[in-house]
Every structure is written in C-alpha cells, then in structure tokens.
Structure 1
Amino acid sequence: MVETKSSVHPALVVPNIKANIPITLEMANVQYSTWAELFKIHARSHRVLDHIIPPAKGKEKVPSTDEEKELWSTLDATVLSWIYSTISNELLQTIIEPDSTTMDAWNRLRDIF
C-alpha cells in the first residue's frame, strides 16, 4: 500500500475540540495541570505543539514562503480557538487580547496558574 501525503493539515480537521479535551479550565475548579497535559497531547498528535511550546534551539522551523506563512497563521488561529473553546468565560475575558498568538494566550494561562 502506498502512503500519500495529505494536502490538509491534521489540525484543520478537528471537528470538536471538546471531544479530546473534555474539561473546561476554570479559576474556581483549578485543573490546569490536567488541562495543559491533555492540550499538549492533542497538539502533539495534530503536529501543532510548536504553537504553544517553542522548539529547542536549532530545531525551529521558520516559515519561508508565503504559503508556509499563511499555513502557520491559519494553524495558530486554529489552536488559539481550541484554547478559547476549552476555558471558562471568566478566563477568556482575562486572557483575550487583539492580535494575540497562541503562545501568548498559552503563556498568559500558565502565568495565572
């Protein structure tokens, strides 16, 4: 059987993030460690972990073409929407900022907890 490379990135076909991260991160019921671990597993399995955790020095992959930059931006928005969809409204109002990146939001949450 011949393997073919899909033209659709696996992160772009996640229909419901709540199926993979079934808890909602809240201030009152702190489950940050569990939520973060589930989130990292999901991000790793969908090849977008580098949007929340920077790669080791020398392992960075900087988008060079317009197509790669557009894909990076699309994936970053997708992962950011995963974060926003799995946290309480109170946390969302605390961390949301215009033109934020996924890593910005991830770090703000880490700093809160």
Structure 2
Amino acid sequence: MASSPHSTASSSATNPFSTAAPTPIPASTLQLVNIRSHVPIELDFTEANYSAFFMLTFRKFGMLDQIDGTVDARQHIYDAEWTQVDSAIVSWPYTTVSREIFNTMLKPNYNTYCVWTAIAGVFLDNSMQRAVYTQQKFRSLYQGDLSMSEYCAHLKQLADTLRDVGAPVTDQYKL
C-alpha cells in the first residue's frame, strides 16, 4: 500500500486518513483569497458562528498559529513573507464585521492575533449579559406564525450564541 507524502508511520497506523498539518499558502496566493467566499456572514452582535467560519478557514490554509498566540509577531517583523501573510489576514475580519464592531476594534499596526483578540474581547466583555438576555429569548421563544424550519433555525441561532458566550444549552433530562 502506497503511503501519502503527508502521512507518517505513526499517524497512518492509528488513522488511515491522517495527514500532516496543512502547509501555509504563500502571501502572493493569500492576497487573492476572497474571504467572503469562506466567511459568508457579517459579524454583528446578533450573528452566531462567525468564529467557526474563521477557524475553518485558518485550519484550511494552515494558519492557526496566526491567531492562537503561539507565534510572537515581533519575532517576524523582518520576515517579509510572514508580514505579508499577516497583513492579508488582518484585512479579513475588517471586511467581514459590521460598522459598529469595526469602529470598536480598528487600531493601526495590529497583527492578526491582536485583531482576533480584539474581536473576541468585544463579545466576551459582555458575555454574562448576553448569556442572560439570550437565555431569556431562548426560553420564551414560541413558534407562533413561524414555520417549523424558521422556528428551529431561530432556536439554533440562539443556542449557538449561548455556546459562543460560554453558556451552552444542555439536555437536562438526558438519562
């Protein structure tokens, strides 16, 4: 059996679909990426799943280290390729957030990690209030004139928001 150039003996023994971490794409290619095709929603105070879209995109392009704090941007200040990649990524959230959020997070000379942290801060700073408000909306939601699919979609959006603010909905009656 031929092995993939990305697999290792140890990973293929435990997971036949395992591959090495994706190689980050070059800055020249990254600058051509239309982020809207990967993150089809605009982040505002009512939208859920924004970070999930971005996390998938960062994983897909092998760039989690840009946002997870494992890389110190100051160490790469003279690395032209890394700086170009970081600058391209910084523009992504700026073009996918509402005007209200954009105005709270825009800072000159921010790197990707700082922008990502600023976005998280906007949502985590008031997470307790958002959780209480959203829990109340979740528990008082009634179907009324909504179709079943609209009702379920609204419940899912509220549940996703609760998960994002650290108060996930649980099944209390599970045996």
**TM > 0.5 between the two?**
yes
Tell me the residue number matched to 1:88: 98
Considering Cα pairs closer than 8 Å and 6+ residues apart, tell me whether 1 or 2 has the greater RCO.
1
Across the aligned residues of Structure 1 and Structure 2, the Cα RMSD in angstroms comes to 2.3
Instruction: Give the superposition deviation at 1:25.
Output: 0.2
Instruction: Give the superposition deviation at 1:12.
Output: 3.3
Instruction: Give the superposition deviation at 1:63.
Output: 4.6
Tell me the residue number matched to 2:165: none
Tell me the residue number matched to 2:121: 111
Query: Aligned partners of 2:32 and 2:81: how far apart in 1?
Result: 14
The secondary structure found in structure 2 opposite 1:21 is coil
Of the three residues 41, 44, 49, the one matched with 2:59 is: 44
TM-score, normalised via structure 2 length: 0.49
Q: Greater CA radius of gyration, 1 or 2?
A: 2
Q: How many residue pairs align between the two structures?
A: 96
> Runs of 5+ in structure 2 lacking a partner?
6-24, 124-175
Equivalent AA in structure 2 for residue 23 of structure 1: I
User: Are 2:83 and 1:73 aligned?
Assistant: yes
The answer to whether the 8 A contact 2:76-2:83 is kept is no
Provide Cα deviations, 1:38-92, integer angstroms capped at 9, x if missing partner.
Answer: 101101111222111123xxxx59659x5xx111111111111011111111111
Provide Cα deviations, 1:1-22, integer angstroms capped at 9, x if missing partner.
Answer: xx9xxxx6153331x1111100
Alignment map for 1:59-70 (pairs within 5 Å):
63=76, 66=78, 69-70=79-80
Query: Aligned partners of 1:63 and 1:92: how far apart in 2?
Result: 26
The runs of at least 4 consecutive aligned structure 1 residues that moved more than 6 Å come to none
The answer to whether the 8 A contact 1:11-1:47 is kept is no
Of the three residues 82, 107, 113, the one matched with 1:97 is: 107
* Percent of paired sites with the same residue: 25
Equivalent AA in structure 1 for residue 31 of structure 2: L
Tell me the residue number matched to 2:32: 13
TM-score, normalised via structure 1 length: 0.74
Tell me the residue number matched to 1:23: 41
The answer to whether the 8 A contact 1:21-1:39 is kept is yes
The secondary structure found in structure 1 opposite 2:31 is helix
The secondary structure found in structure 2 opposite 1:90 is helix
